[in-house]
Amino acid sequence: MLQNYLKLAWRQLTKNKLHSSINIGGLIVGFTIGIAILMVVYQQFSFDKFQVNRNRIYETYQVFNHPAKTVIENGFPMAQGPAYKAGAPGIEHMTRMLDGDNHIRYKGRDLSIPVMLVDADYFSMFSFPIVEGRQTNPLQNLNSIVLREDAAREIFGNEDPIGKTIKASTRDKMQDLVVTAVIKDGLATSFNFPALARIENISGYSSSSKDWEGRGMSLYVELKKGVTAREAEKQLIPIDRQHVPGWYDNLEKEGAKPDKYGDLWATRLLPLEDVHFSTEVNGHKAIGIGQILILLTVAVLIILIASFNFINISLAAAFTRSREMGIRKCLGAVKWKLFLQLWGESLLVCTISFLASLLLVNVLLNSIPSIEKIRIALSGVIGQPGFLLLALGLLLGVSLLAGGYPALMMTRFRIVETLKGRLNIKHKSPLRSSLIVFQFVIACIMISGTYIAWQQYRYLQNADTGIDKDVIVSVPLHDPAKGRETIEKLRVLLASDPHVVSVTGSNINLGRGSDHRTIKLGFGFTYKGRNLSTTAADVDYDYLKTLGIHPTLGRDFDKTYSTDTANKVVISESLARQLGTGDPIGQYLGADSSWSGWQVIGVFPDFHLYSLAEKQEPLMLLLDPHATPSYCFIRTTGHNTLATMSAIKKRWQPSSPARILMEALLMIIYTTGIRKNAPCRYPSDSPRSSPSCCPVPASWPWSC
């Protein structure tokens, strides 16, 4: 019987070629989009599901209950993690995560590969599959480094990486590290770091490890079995009160009110399963659950359009098969067998469309070079049992939705009327009319949504960010310790080039460049009894000139003024308005009994240093001769771009004794959100400090 049903289904498919082609074509489009989006959604919801101890791992964050608003911070000082592990009985393991640098050198080749600095407990907490090397605690030794598969291939090619020595940048220095393990890439995880080394390798770790005021790293803990998050949070309260009692005092003076747990300020724990979607704690590093639901809604709507199209065409063709149904009923066919036959025909159409869609999705993922990272991330999704069940459910659901109703209608035809060739529909079907209307409504919504999305994209491309982004070249400096020296050499070498206007540098990139990294530095200070806060950037000479910004008051940093390197700052107009003085030039910010403060020498118009998705914040520019700029910016005339880029590349090589790889890109930026790989935030009323994450002199009393 099954074989007979398949033959009949195939005959109907080949007999009505036009209807079959329309149905299959529509379903292929719907299935292709649905499967692609389902892969993305499944991958997003499967983040860190492979972690064996995921139910006991938590990200720590801190809540400051200010009178005006509640502030959430996820940056921690160096000493806090070890103190928690030693003082909280419920904590079994702990790891800090600190952004190192993006410079690795092997056999004279300089590569842009980010290095994350972690604790030895990292691989005791997280169960990343190790494909080569030491399986247990590969970061046991201080000189060890663990690479992801793609990073190992980029560095070593076909060589065996295990036991090889490479030079890697651990923030402010290059040092020899031995590759002890290679972990699998393409995993759905919030900790997708190309290289991992020990945090103790940073300069001055012995002194900075006692720091309780700087806020420059993420902190994760694993609780012991049977310990709840709330129990562990209670254990952290006395540790915080012991080491930073001044933070409680400041909040009490402000008039802060306790939260539901009775805390003015406390450390909280975020479950690992919530880390990926927690925009409140992790900002733009996380993905809002609403974005995933919007994607899922789009997929459902497109599949519904294809299904409704299938239903309407099948109903229109049903009347041509009325005699067939009548004869089958006369020969003794019962309704449920007719239904199975007709639904089987729909299932065959859906199956052909589904298989073609799987092939098309695979072709698309492997034929578009620009989505290589997406391809790697999604390549392992198709073979997972959970996704296969979802895909099978999608196939059966669409076949029942698209083919079930037409099959049910045809089984209800009256025998006598169908045999006489008369089939009268006495009542109009509100369902068929509704499907047509609903189909057009969905199409109008999708067209409108596409138009709005396109307008938003055009806005992001053409929005005024306050800088001449189209004529600025950003060059990541792979050796920030020699950053100012490199920038000055390049400034001299390009001085005679008519297409180069100016050269400068900074520790913060303009948007997210080729290294996909940026940081945010926040400063809090007191001015005339008021607590103020601002973002900050360490810059080199000609910074405003290179960005195409003209000071509205005062001046920019100038080499002719030797005192500009001594606590002078240039501030944005929004920060000047916060000061509340008519003319801020000459004013001192953050002065106290032990320090004269920063003197304002200029005011410039506000511009978007970060993504347009982020609120524009006040900005302070600093000129510290001891800072380590990570990026060089070159302003060009905008004419003959290719020749200018070639000239920069030629001049760049002799300016770098280590033959640093130049990765320069014309800055068409701000088209996407920016992930903050090294969040450095600091409450405006918190104790003043100079954490290791911020390239400012230790003598300065405030930092991120």
271 pLDDT higher than 90: yes
Digit-coded pLDDT (tens) for 141-155: 999 999 999 999 999
664 pLDDT higher than 60: no
If pLDDT is split at 50, 70 and 90, which confidence band does 699 have?
Answer: very low
246 pLDDT higher than 70: yes
Query: Which residue in this structure is represented by tokens 């190309």?
Result: 194
If pLDDT is split at 50, 70 and 90, which confidence band does 521 have?
Answer: confident
Min mean pLDDT across 8-22, 424-438, 543-557 is at 424-438
What's the average model confidence in pLDDT over 441-453?
A: 87
> pLDDT at position 86, please?
92
688 pLDDT higher than 70: no
| Contact status, residue 402 vs residue 314, Cβ threshold 8 Å | yes
Digit-coded pLDDT (tens) for 560-577: 888 888 789 999 999 999
| Contact status, residue 606 vs residue 573, Cβ threshold 8 Å | yes
- Higher pLDDT: 308 or 222? It is 222
> pLDDT at position 533, please?
78
If pLDDT is split at 50, 70 and 90, which confidence band does 691 have?
Answer: very low
Q: How far apart are the first and last CA of the chain?
A: 75
> pLDDT at position 459, please?
84
Digit-coded pLDDT (tens) for 503-519: 999 888 887 665 556 67
> Which of 151-165, 318-332, 568-582 shows the highest mean pLDDT?
151-165
What SS3 class is residue 1? coil
The partner residues of 488 in beta bridges, in order of sequence, read none
C-alpha distances in angstroms, 287 versus 60, 95, 613, 673, 675? Answer: 18, 23, 13, 10, 10
- Higher pLDDT: 338 or 534? It is 534
Min mean pLDDT across 379-383, 470-474, 626-630 is at 379-383
What's the average model confidence in pLDDT over 17-30?
A: 84
377 pLDDT higher than 70: no
How many residues are present in the chain? 704
If pLDDT is split at 50, 70 and 90, which confidence band does 192 have?
Answer: confident
Digit-coded pLDDT (tens) for 351-370: 888 999 888 888 887 776 55
A 10 A CB-CB count for 488 gives 15
> pLDDT at position 704, please?
36
> pLDDT at position 239, please?
92
DSSP secondary structure letter of residue 343: H
If pLDDT is split at 50, 70 and 90, which confidence band does 373 have?
Answer: low
Q: Could you tell me which of 502, 508, 595 has the C-alpha nearest to residue 556? A: 502
Digit-coded pLDDT (tens) for 161-173: 999 999 998 877 7
Tokens of 593: 């009994």
97 pLDDT higher than 90: yes
> pLDDT at position 703, please?
34
> pLDDT at position 385, please?
80
Considering only CA atoms, give the Rg of the chain: 31
Min mean pLDDT across 232-241, 364-373, 382-391, 447-456 is at 364-373
> pLDDT at position 130, please?
94
Which own/partner contact pairs does 432-437 have at CB distance under 8 Å and 24+ positions apart? 432/311, 432/312, 432/315, 435/308, 435/311, 435/312, 436/308, 436/312
Following DSSP, what letter does each residue of 181-208 receive, concatenated?
A: EEE-SS---S---SEEEEGGGSTTHHHH
What's the average model confidence in pLDDT over 91-99?
A: 93
| Contact status, residue 534 vs residue 617, Cβ threshold 8 Å | yes
How much is the mean pLDDT over the chain?
Answer: 79
87 pLDDT higher than 60: yes
CA distance 96 to 198: 10
Min mean pLDDT across 71-85, 477-491, 493-507 is at 477-491
25 pLDDT higher than 60: yes
The partner residues of 96 in beta bridges, in order of sequence, read 219
Cβ within 8 Å of residue 547, ≥6 positions away: 467, 468, 472, 510, 607, 633, 635
C-alpha distances in angstroms, 382 versus 37, 43, 376, 378? Answer: 12, 10, 12, 7
If pLDDT is split at 50, 70 and 90, which confidence band does 665 have?
Answer: very low
A 10 A CB-CB count for 529 gives 5
